[in-house]
Amino acid sequence: MAKLQDKVERYSPLIGEPFPELTVQSTHGKRTLPHDYAGRWFILFSHPADFTPVCTTEFVAFARKHQEFKELNCELIGLSVDQVFSHIKWAEWIKDNLGVEIPFPIIADTGQIAAELGMIHPAKGTNTVRSVFVVDDKGIIRVILYYPQEVGRNIGEILRIVRALQTSDANGAAMPADWPQNELIGDAVIIPPPTDEQTARERQKTYTCYDWWFCYRKLS
Task: Return the exposure string of 50-64: e unless at least 16 CB atoms fall within 10 Å of the residue's CB, then b.
Answer: beeebbbebbbbbbe
Angstrom CA distances, 126 to 97, 118, 132, stand at 28, 12, 17
Its sign, for the CA torsion 172, 176, 182, 185, is negative
Could you report the per-residue pLDDT of 24-66, keeping only the tens digit for each? Answer: 999 999 999 999 999 999 999 999 999 999 999 999 999 999 9
Residues in Cβ contact with 85 at an 8 Å cutoff, skipping those fewer than 6 apart: none
pLDDT digits (tens, 9 = 90+) for 175-213: 999 999 999 999 999 999 898 999 998 888 899 999 999
Tell me if 150 sits within 8 A of 164, measured CB to CB.
Answer: no
CATH numbers and ranges of domains, the chain:
2-169 (3.40.30.10), 172-220 (3.30.1020.10)
pLDDT, tens digit (0-9, with 9 covering 90-100), for 12-26: 799 999 999 999 999
Active site residue 55: yes
pTM of the model: 0.90
The per-residue pLDDT of the chain, averaged, comes to 91
pLDDT at 76 over 90: yes
pLDDT at 123: 66
Q: Would you give the distance in Å from CA 182 to the centre of its chain?
A: 21
Catalytic option among 55, 74, 209, 215? 55
- On whether the CB atoms of residues 208 and 215 are closer than 8 A, the answer is yes
